A and B are shown apart, each in its own frame.
Chain A
Amino acid sequence: MSARPFAIAVAFVALATLPHWMPGIYYVNVASQILFYAVFALGLNVLVGYAGLVSLGHAGLFGVTAYAAGYMLQLGFGHPLAILAALVIGVASMAIYAALSLRSTGIGFIMITLALGEILWGLAYRWISLTGGDNGLSVKTRPEPFGFSLSDANTFYYATLVIFLLSLAAAMVFVRSPLGAALMGTRDQPRRMNALGYHVWAIRFCACLFSGLLTAVSGILFVYYTQFISPQTLALTSSAEVLLMVISGGAGTLLGPIVGAGLVVVVKTVVSGFIERWNFLLGAIFVAIVILMPEGLVPGTARLWRLAWRKREPGPGAIKGGAGAKP
């Protein structure tokens, strides 16, 4: 068994048995948070990593979905309908985002998504009749799919794990697909892609919709996890946080955003219990990542690993590298 499938198997077993070896409910909840933030980061990574489009307004989409679910539930609709409506509203909001912001790329794209995110934040804050303003919206109950009540931390974790794995699989299939290859082509050489017959705008639009879907899924998990949503969730700092997850873990990789989500959530929730100035620590970690591994933790570690391996055993290492590169 080579290293990669072995590592995947170990990770899978660890995740599947996590509630049994975690020291307490608190840590199971932290794991749930990591998983739904990982889905969020995977969604943003579709744009940042594979399309080369940096969005600073994704927390707006995340929040709109959460508010939509919360509002539907408050109106008395059932969970399935609330979830469906929230997904539709989340993806539709992304479509509007995309239609407005895909007029440009680079800095222009960043600024337009930033502005759109701020508009949604402003709406959440001021449209009190709909959102409850500063008081936010509460969600009284969690759904009970197939009779499993998600109000228990362990069952909620497992539900999140299943959705996380489905999202990861979806992202994996997308990245390997022709549309995924086309998207990466538009990231690297948009002009050439256009000359080769690709509709660059439409490809980017499709990527936005997929990103929006993953973001909406994570927004729904979030609102059921916290059972509360307030304008703070849509703030620029939230958009920046998920962007940092993507960049620190490694944009344009599938594992990177997951590792980034783990890092940010652990520092924010666990480490903040021990260190009052956890923001400072998070900042220091990012500075270290940017200096030591500008490509992100996952590709950076892989690079250092290869380097160390080659230095120790130049002969077999070289052969292994060659054989690994072939398929």
Chain B
Amino acid sequence: MSALTVTGLCKSFGGLHVTTDVSLNVEPGERRLIIGPNGAGKTTLFNLITGELTPDSGSIQLFGQDITGVPSRRRAHLGMARTYQIITLFARDTILHNVTLALLGLSPARWNPLIDLRRQGHFVEHAQAALERVGLAHIANRPLSQTSYGERRRVEIAMALTQNPKVLLLDEPFAGLSIDERRDVQQLLLAIPRDVTIVMIEHNMDVALEFAERITLLHFGEVIVEGNRAEVVADPRTREVYLGH
């Protein structure tokens, strides 16, 4: 059974076809890279997969279960987590609180209006452990507004990982990072166990090609090329639309 199956997905904004008949099949444990020039519809595809946008037609299956009509928030409970290209975090709160919110999102305790959240030791421990994993444990209590861009990227990843997703969608996790930070994030992603399936959008080919086993090239909302690393890089269409002549 595939981890994620997308069949004939279409989405238009007015007359603009952003996603045109996209079909994907991602196997469990796979590392899939989605590339494509600006405006190819990569982030829109993510938004359709996570349910933030509703497709005009087509279907999405998560481990064989049809989730096309399932609301976005339920998909998180079914094991789907994502990070955002434009960092979407809680700037007023500490790093720890950001991760705690991610943990709380899947816990029934999120409806409890009577207990003190800061006294819930297991949340704090789990959040701390997730920050340990991304190397931010030492600044867990720092307000997010006082962190660097690279640290925020790692907070994004920590929040996604702490939800123990089966499918993890990473939208340009290396965007805007320095070479050192990029290496840190790369190490972090390589350390994610194989029971997590990863789909990643990335422009930075050096790090991305190394990471991915299969690559899908999108262009004007359509899948142009799909295959393993060598096939896609060697394909003349990839050179034409993406890598340059």
Tell me if B170 is interfacial: C-beta within 8 Å of chain A.
no
Is A193 within 8 A of B105, CB to CB? yes
| B52 contact set on A, CB distance < 8 A | 191, 194-195
| A194 contact set on B, CB distance < 8 A | 52, 72-73
Is B102 within 8 A of A196, CB to CB? yes
| A179 contact set on B, CB distance < 8 A | 110-113
Tell me if B104 is interfacial: C-beta within 8 Å of chain A.
yes
In the bound assembly, the distance between CA atoms of A178 and B101 in angstroms comes to 9
Tell me if A189 is interfacial: C-beta within 8 Å of chain B.
yes
Tell me if B220 is interfacial: C-beta within 8 Å of chain A.
no
| A196 contact set on B, CB distance < 8 A | 73, 76, 101-102, 105-106, 159, 163
Contact with A along B115-132 (1 / 0, CB 8 A): 111101000000000000
Tell me if B109 is interfacial: C-beta within 8 Å of chain A.
yes
> Interface size (B, Cβ < 8 Å)?
37
Is B114 within 8 A of A195, CB to CB? no
Tell me if B88 is interfacial: C-beta within 8 Å of chain A.
yes
Check A177/B116 contact, CB under 8 A, given A189-B88, A189-B90, A196-B159: yes
| A189 contact set on B, CB distance < 8 A | 88-90
For residue A283, give the distance in angstroms from its CB to the closest CB of chain B: 30
Contact with B along A147-186 (1 / 0, CB 8 A): 0000000000000000000000000011011111110010
Is A185 within 8 A of B101, CB to CB? yes
Check A174/B113 contact, CB under 8 A, given A189-B89, A196-B159, A196-B163: yes
Is A192 within 8 A of B84, CB to CB? yes
| B76 contact set on A, CB distance < 8 A | 195-197
In the bound assembly, the distance between CA atoms of A182 and B115 in angstroms comes to 13
Is A197 within 8 A of B117, CB to CB? no
Contact with B along A251-290 (1 / 0, CB 8 A): 0000000000000000000000000000000000000000
Tell me if A198 is interfacial: C-beta within 8 Å of chain B.
yes
| B82 contact set on A, CB distance < 8 A | 195
In the bound assembly, the distance between CA atoms of A192 and B72 in angstroms comes to 10
Tell me if B205 is interfacial: C-beta within 8 Å of chain A.
no
Is A177 within 8 A of B115, CB to CB? yes
In the bound assembly, the distance between CA atoms of A173 and B163 in angstroms comes to 26
Is A185 within 8 A of B90, CB to CB? yes
In the bound assembly, the distance between CA atoms of A193 and B98 in angstroms comes to 11
Is A182 within 8 A of B72, CB to CB? no
| B50 contact set on A, CB distance < 8 A | 195
Q: Which of B154-172 contact A (CB under 8 A)?
A: 159, 163
In the bound assembly, the distance between CA atoms of A200 and B136 in angstroms comes to 28
Q: Which of B81, B89, B102 has the most CB of A within 10 A?
A: B102
Tell me if A210 is interfacial: C-beta within 8 Å of chain B.
yes
Q: Which of B87-109 contact A (CB under 8 A)?
A: 88-92, 97, 100-102, 104-107, 109
Tell me if A188 is interfacial: C-beta within 8 Å of chain B.
yes
Tell me if B77 is interfacial: C-beta within 8 Å of chain A.
yes
For residue B62, give the distance in angstroms from its CB to the closest CB of chain A: 14
Is A177 within 8 A of B102, CB to CB? no
| A191 contact set on B, CB distance < 8 A | 52, 88
Tell me if A199 is interfacial: C-beta within 8 Å of chain B.
yes
Tell me if A206 is interfacial: C-beta within 8 Å of chain B.
yes
Is B90 within 8 A of A178, CB to CB? no
| B109 contact set on A, CB distance < 8 A | 178
Check A188/B72 contact, CB under 8 A, given A177-B115, A182-B110, A196-B159: no
| B106 contact set on A, CB distance < 8 A | 196-197
**3 nearest CB pairs, A to B:** A197-B76, A196-B105, A197-B105
Q: Give me 20 other A-B pairs in contact (C-beta within 8 A), A181-B104, A196-B102 excluded.
A: A178-B112, A178-B113, A180-B117, A181-B101, A182-B101, A185-B101, A188-B90, A189-B88, A189-B90, A191-B88, A192-B89, A193-B105, A194-B72, A195-B72, A196-B76, A196-B101, A196-B105, A197-B105, A198-B73, A206-B113
